[in-house]
Structure 1
Amino acid sequence: MDTPSQMNTEMSWPHDLSSMTGSPKPSSHASRSKTPEPGSTSLVNPSSSLLQDLLKEQRATRGSRGTASEDMEDNGPRTPRTPGRSRANSQNQSQEEPGSDRQRKINNALAAGLKQPREMGMREMDQYISKMNKQNFDLKLEIFHRAQQMAAMEKKLERMLEMEEELQRMRDLEDELQELRDAEEDNQRLRESNEQLRQEIDKRDQAVTEAVELIYLLQPGLLRVMAQAQLLKRPILLPLWIFQNGHP
């Protein structure tokens, strides 16, 4: 709930802004309304006392309205100003220098929808502070979420590195397994070759055994033949009477 001081401050801010932008004050109208215009008095110049009384009452009413408006302006709450500058100086400066830097800054601020901190009311200042606090909280929350995401990403990265190392070990094991398979194939070929050689050796052993047995069986007959051959090599003695009869 807004306090009366805040409401008065908010009401005084556009009033002070109108004074800085060089808009005329109601007091000038009131001061002009207090002084009778010479042309009107010279032209009207009423001769009736009733008309003169009505004119006096009307002028008195205008004067009381102007005085009341000046009192409200003088006694109304205002936003704090920088020391050394009075209301008259600000009015003179805004009226004498409409194109000054201050006027240009104020116009730019109004055009952009921004206000300087010293020209803000209490309510606007509270809203501005609450907005900044909310933005600060949102930023902190965003930083917290980003930190959590970074921590999760770091854990994922570590897990990925571990998985990559495990994959490299699996690849090494696959290479070793392939080498073992190749060695097993080589051993299988060697076993088959050895089996063939063993079979050949067995065949040769069997042939040698058969040859030995054959030699053992043929050896007695060979000895007999050799003995007969020795007997045939001896000379045969024939009787002499065979040659004498003319027979060889």
Structure 2
Amino acid sequence: MEAGYEARQSPISSYLQEKLLRERKVELDNKSVSSGRTSNDAHTQGSPCRREGFDPRRPMSSGGPDAPTKKKGMGVKEMEQVSANVMGSQTVSTLHKQNFDLKLELYHRRERQTALEDELTRMKDDSAQLTELNDRLVEELEKRDKAVEEAVAMIVLLEAQVETLLKEREMVRRIETQTPFGHMSSP
């Protein structure tokens, strides 16, 4: 990969960065293996031993007089290399899929976070309004409680005055019944 590409793609987490570095290394290895194979093919085409229908990747029969007797099939190293190439491309494909899945999950989480932040802001505004309303209601209740206390005190005072006036009235009646015009009569 190019240095410009690495500068443009700055991974957020060390896990993601590690995965990207592995993927890039596998891609570079695959490129070097495939370029080595094409240069070997070009070399053998120009070689005097090159025959029509000869494919170095296919096993040769031992029937011909100029057939090499050295190789009868694919060697262990070549089989491992083919297996590594197949596994490498599967790994790259898996890493691409994981990368896509992670980016998609990150996108959805950011969307959810934005929605939650908006909801939090709205709830804070609602809370401030409700707190203000609650404070006003508490203030009104305190005023009403004070008014009720004052009314109760007035009622108690007025009841005491009524009781005093009733007693005075009763005394005045008794006095009036005992004597005409407020004098005591003699028997």
- TM-score normalised to the size of structure 1? 0.38
Q: TM-score, normalised by structure 2?
A: 0.48
Higher relative contact order (Cα pairs below 8 Å, separated by 6+ residues): 1
Look at both structures and tell me which one has the larger radius of gyration over its CA atoms.
Answer: 1
